[in-house]
Amino acid sequence: MPLAELVLIAAPLGVFGAAFLAPAVLVRRQFSRLPEAFECKVRAPDGRLAGLSRRGRWRRARAVWVHDVLLLRSGRPAAAVRPIAVRHPDGSVKAAPPQLVSRLGPAPVILRLRLDGGQLLEIAARREARSVIAGPFVVAAVEGLPSGSPERRSKGTT
């Protein structure tokens, strides 16, 4: 194949590829620069969440909370950001054995979230992200809280 024909084929492919790759790179960069974004791993233990492995494998992601919606960016190129509507945490943030979740430091934490559709999502992060992983459900980040508010308990004793 002559060089001229090769250039005529390769040039449009290069322009076409750059047109799709540039937005993906921009989304990835902007998402990573958000101060409240955190590195995590997610999985659907019951395998009922589209886009996540049905075998319960952990998938690397970067996440950020916007109200009660967890925005997940994962994969390459990561032009797509997936919104996940969360109903409530299913328990509190707990320490996870490092062998359960790899590459999140020596003492990762894990939180189970119940989604609006009823599915269960597990999200794991580094220990330093303990308060960020809980998002708007910050009470879930503190284990051992007594039930009820302090105001109610004090009203009943006076």
As given in the structure block, the two tokens for residue 62 are 């970067």
Side chain identity at 65, as an amino acid letter?
Answer: W
Contact 126, 105 (CB under 8 A): yes
Q: What does CATH list as the number for 3-141? A: 2.30.29
The one-letter amino acid code at 35 reads P
Cross-strand pairs, 70: 65, 84
Task: Report pLDDT for 85.
Answer: 94
pLDDT score, position 158: 46
Supply the pLDDT for residue 23.
60
d(CA 114, CA 137): 12
For position 123, what pLDDT does the model report?
Answer: 95
- Looking at residue 149, its pLDDT comes to 44
Residue 113 pLDDT: 94
State which residues of the chain have pLDDT below 50. Answer: 148-154, 158
For the entire predicted model, the pTM comes to 0.72
